[in-house]
Amino acid sequence: MPKISQVIYTAGSGTILPKLQWSERFTITGDSVSLTRTGKVNDTAVNAGTWEFAADAQAVAALFAQLAAVDCARLKRIEPDDPPDGGGAESFEIAYANGKKCVLTYDAGVTYTGGELIVAPIRAFARALTLPADAAL
């Protein structure tokens, strides 16, 4: 299994009022998690900022082990014939110690065959995080 150095999960709100649109980026390493949240416009209503906090080493090790078992070359992007308007976007990036990367970018209507092997554990990890109090939306 290849050694993972970090996982980056990026999500965006999609088409809502510009003042409420946001983008988040979680960077997960072996010992820390950083969250960067931005708004789309200068007078955003989004709680923007950057927060770094300690990661549960066991949870990170379990996530990395689960992701390392996935063969990224077998994942195939499936584009919709007629992409829907609006919707958010998500990106899942696994960076390996050897410099290689596995990136899944989910634009509106896009799926990947086998993508849930990466998407589900990363989303579950992000949902289980206890964010710093000042990072609340």
Place of tokens 């209503």: 45
Predicted pLDDT of residue 25:
97
Burial class of residue 25, CB neighbours in 10 A (0-12, 13-18, 19+) = middle
pLDDT tens, per residue, the chain with 137 residues? 689 999 999 999 887 888 988 899 999 999 899 999 989 888 888 898 999 988 899 999 999 999 999 999 999 999 998 878 777 899 999 999 999 999 999 998 999 999 999 999 999 999 999 888 888 76
Predicted pLDDT of residue 43:
86
